[in-house]
Structure 1
Amino acid sequence: MTQHRKRDKNLGLAELVAIALGGMVGGGIFTILGISVSMIGNLTPIAIIIGGLIASLAAYSYVKLGLYYKDEGATYSFFKRTYPKSHFSAAAIGWFIIFGYISTLALYAYTFSSYAISSTEFANDIQIRKMIAIGVIGIFTLINVLSVKGMGKIEDLMVYTKLVILTIIAVVLIQHGSTSFEGFIGDMAMDAKNSSTLSILIVASITFVAYEGFQLVINAVSEMTNPDKNIPRAIYSAIGLAVLIYVVISMGALFAIPSEDIIKNKEFALAAGAGDVLGKMGTDLVILGAILATSSAISGTVFGSSRQMSVVAKDGYLPKWLAIRKKNIPINSIVGMGVMAAILILIGGLELILEFGSITFLLVSLLMAIANYKLRDKTNSSKVLTTFSILGLAIGGVLILYYEFTAKWEQMLAIVVLYAVLALGAWIYSKKNERAKKIT
């Protein structure tokens, strides 16, 4: 086991659940809503629940490996320590997971800006949207640099406030929507006839990115109280709450907003729909909820992923300057995450960012399940559950790839090129690392 030097333990269960929920209930739900409704209509809540089950399968191995290794490097460190002789694989996992976090950071910031200007004359101005997205990343980069405890308290406030607001919005939309419960069930039955099981499972796999964030709890292992109890409690509680919130939000949208409007205004559909039903107050309330949701997601993702980036850099698989810390805060990694997310916002489209994130987190979650299967006796894991996790995550990954190749092959090509560039970077650093170790 890794021996950690004594540190201040600033993060309790409430903060850890907030970090996980902050990472999950962010841009994902607002972005996947339009994509899901366009593919399967009123079956969207079913796909969201299945996506939550896939996330729970992934979480099982993360919890077991997290309790066994207690390493803030999380995904990267788990794989490296399970397969210690595989330098390129460790480097590739490090690069993939870090850039997966960068993509979700960009997604959350992009969604923040979409909602922030949704009721203004600049709503469709892409350049202003990108500038605001970069600005909000800068703000939360600064907050994370200044204080861990301050970040935790701000995260608590934003996360639990947004949960209340989003729940109120969804319930009010359900009550005031033009669709009755019977009508909703009837439309769901019709959509079930028109949609294949395959399309539902594809949407469930795409929604996986909306559950990305629970892993961030493990990145905080050096700064949390009682990790043996708080890691599983925080992760499973956060996933359960996220499923509930997503289902209620999606039902609220489907009850009150015509499907064609959800699809058309997918980047800020909830705000547009709430305005039609509840007037300006409804729009403002949704915008506030979305801004809080994406803000907490940005803050939590910067916090967790920067610690993982610092560990990868310390091991020599990223530039060494990214490993530098001050008062245990990985300042250079925090700034590095912010800068790279800003670059991705400037060059990437929303759906490309979303689906790169989904594929990446399904892939690394599958690798974690395989690693946990290898160590199942040491991690005290169920062979049946771990095998089921591997199968479920593998099927989810195949379904996303199938969808990309058949529906958006140009986008898939861009993702493949991005993976090739990341693999090349990982290969270069793994070779440098091997040469350095031979010299010493």
Structure 2
Amino acid sequence: MGSDSKIKLLEAMSIGIGGMVGGGIFAVLGLAVSLAKGATPIAFLVAGALALITSYSYVKLSLGFPDRGGTVKFINQGFGKTVFSGGINNLLWISYIIMLSLYASAFGSYAPNLYSVTGDSGIDFHIYASAVILLATAINYYSIKVVGEIESTAVFIKLFILIGFVGVGLYGLIGNENLEQLSPSKWENTFQILGGGIVIFVAYEGFELIANAVPDIINPKKNVPRAYYYSIGFVILLYLLIAIVTVGSLPFSEIAKAEDYVLAEAAKPMLGQIGFTIITVAALISTFSAINASLYGGSRVSYEIAEDDELPHELTSQFWNQPIGLMITSALTLVLCNSLDLESISTSGSIGFLIVFAMVNYSGFNLSDQISGNKIIPIIGFSLCVIASITLIGQQYVSNKLGVIVALSIVFTSFLIEFFYKKSESYLKKKKQ
């Protein structure tokens, strides 16, 4: 590969930042405030700390096993190609589909604020959420190059608008009576704060995409750790400031009323309707670009899993010059975003990625001698991801039983698919003999 195709540090960081600051922050900010109230910035710190600890295992595994398969490769290296590793990789693919549903839900919630198709926000939500998935699917089939160009432009636009929002917002907080909502007296109990942090963990999902680009990164030994740590550090700071501005700008009652598009509502006190419109446009650009990129990423994951003989080889076949997994990913996303509420989608996505990241951390621990890694940090990451999963299931079971049932069903189905696939493979081999 020529040097002009190589990825520099800033480009590697933009992959991580673009992956994290997709639709997640626009989709789950209102949900975070409803759970953690005045401690929302602390909730984002909790989730960010978990992402940062997990990134250590990603750094070591990325350098030890540079591969475009990324997470799929690391799971297989850590556990071998077994029913267990196949189940985890299936869960990764389904978790990408859940993230796509989350982004489409955010698009469907923000878009009617600009233009209502039917006058009924409920119906408009389904129209816009479905339309954006179909449009992104068409673009993915048309040209992968266009997908990359949209993502590159969108990263710049959304960061420019969000940093502007933070700058104006911090200035607008001076003398704002809602600032007292951030005081410890307005915090929820520790369990609620932790639950809030964990349910919004999906807002940090995306840093792992750096792993897929490692074979092309210039001077990987130096730039791979920097790409992971700098991008996560930047996003933690950005989310922290966004949470402070949002909670300090609006009373909790207004945040609850505009839960699905709270970031746009938070711009109103400072910039009026223009601010609301600017943030709405930023949300639409962000979620659209995230859907575009995640559709491609999701179809690649299904391709990698099938190539490793953990799903039927038919998934490596092409349909209109793209992996067949692209069409399957798109169809399943349409079903999920039109049938589940935002909290259930967010819960399922967080549980899915927490389990996947727990296993990546365990791979980092298991392979520490091969990758010259520290054993303690990965085992801490593994333990925290497991504890976070259990905490989230317990917290959500009280308020959102459906979300927990859906999440656990998805985990169970991921392993069931793998179990039956391996059984059928084994049966066919014996029959041939």
Regarding TM over 0.5, the answer is: yes
What letter is aligned with 2:291?
Answer: I
Segments of 5+ residues of structure 2 without an aligned counterpart are none
Who is 2:379 aligned against? 387
Task: For residue 42 of structure 1, give the secondary structure of its aligned residue in structure 2.
Answer: coil
Task: For residue 59 of structure 1, give the secondary structure of its aligned residue in structure 2.
Answer: helix
- Residues 383-427 of structure 1, C-alpha deviation per residue, up to 9 Å, x if partnerless? 221222122222211211111223222332232233333332222
State yes or no: 1:411 paired with 2:407.
no
Tell me which of 36, 42, 63 is aligned to 1:40: 36
Who is 1:114 aligned against? 109
State yes or no: 1:87 paired with 2:79.
no
Bigger CA drift: 63-72 or 355-364?
63-72
CA contact (8 A) 1:15 1:152 kept: no
TM-score where L is the length of structure 2: 0.90
Who is 2:351 aligned against? 359
Cα distance in 2 between the residues matched to 1:420 and 1:38 = 29
CA contact (8 A) 1:213 1:301 kept: no
Which residues of 2 match residues 2-151 of structure 1 at below 5 A?
Answer: 9=5, 11-84=7-80, 87-121=82-116, 125-151=121-147
Bigger CA drift: 171-180 or 276-285?
171-180
Deviation at 1:298, TM superposition (A): 1.8
Who is 2:421 aligned against? 429
Change (3 A) 1:308 1:400: same
What letter is aligned with 1:390?
Answer: F
Who is 1:346 aligned against? 338
Change (3 A) 1:127 1:422: farther
CA contact (8 A) 1:22 1:296 kept: no
Tell me which of 164, 170, 175 is aligned to 1:168: 164
Cα distance in 2 between the residues matched to 1:394 and 1:50 = 14
Change (3 A) 1:344 1:409: closer
Cα distance in 2 between the residues matched to 1:332 and 1:353 = 24
CA contact (8 A) 1:93 1:364 kept: yes
CA contact (8 A) 1:18 1:155 kept: no
Number of residue pairs matched by the alignment: 431
What letter is aligned with 1:384?
Answer: I
Tell me which of 265, 290, 293 is aligned to 1:297: 290
CA contact (8 A) 1:365 1:393 kept: yes
CA contact (8 A) 2:104 2:132 kept: yes
Cα distance in 2 between the residues matched to 1:323 and 1:170 = 44
Cα distance in 1 between the residues matched to 2:96 and 2:390 = 21
Deviation at 1:315, TM superposition (A): 2.7
Which residues of 2 match residues 216-227 of structure 1 at below 5 A?
Answer: 216-221=209-214, 227=220
CA contact (8 A) 1:74 1:308 kept: no
Which residues of 2 match residues 275-286 of structure 1 at below 5 A?
Answer: 275-286=268-279
CA contact (8 A) 1:42 1:184 kept: no
Change (3 A) 1:261 1:113: same
Tell me which of 186, 198, 201 is aligned to 1:205: 198
Change (3 A) 1:142 1:228: farther
Deviation at 1:45, TM superposition (A): 0.7
State yes or no: 1:190 paired with 2:185.
yes
Change (3 A) 1:396 1:253: same
- Residues 257-281 of structure 1, C-alpha deviation per residue, up to 9 Å, x if partnerless? 2211112211111223323542221
CA contact (8 A) 1:141 1:302 kept: yes
CA contact (8 A) 1:23 1:296 kept: no
Task: For residue 267 of structure 1, give the secondary structure of its aligned residue in structure 2.
Answer: helix
Bigger CA drift: 414-423 or 372-381?
414-423
Cα distance in 2 between the residues matched to 1:8 and 1:315 = 30
Deviation at 1:148, TM superposition (A): 4.4
- Residues 87-122 of structure 1, C-alpha deviation per residue, up to 9 Å, x if partnerless? 211221121110001000110121022112224445
Deviation at 1:211, TM superposition (A): 0.5
Who is 2:239 aligned against? 246
What letter is aligned with 2:375?
Answer: K
Cα distance in 2 between the residues matched to 1:378 and 1:288 = 47
- Residues 231-283 of structure 1, C-alpha deviation per residue, up to 9 Å, x if partnerless? 33322222112112211211221222221111221111122332354222111
Task: For residue 207 of structure 2, give the secondary structure of its aligned residue in structure 1.
Answer: coil
CA contact (8 A) 2:27 2:105 kept: no
What letter is aligned with 1:105?
Answer: L
TM-score where L is the length of structure 1: 0.89
Task: For residue 200 of structure 2, give the secondary structure of its aligned residue in structure 1.
Answer: helix
Deviation at 1:44, TM superposition (A): 0.6
Task: For residue 338 of structure 2, give the secondary structure of its aligned residue in structure 1.
Answer: helix
- Residues 3-61 of structure 1, C-alpha deviation per residue, up to 9 Å, x if partnerless? xx999946544443333222211222223222222222221111111210101111111
What letter is aligned with 2:186?
Answer: D
Tell me which of 261, 264, 267 is aligned to 2:260: 267
Cα distance in 2 between the residues matched to 1:139 and 1:367 = 34
Cα distance in 2 between the residues matched to 1:335 and 1:234 = 31
Change (3 A) 1:7 1:398: farther
What letter is aligned with 2:189?
Answer: S
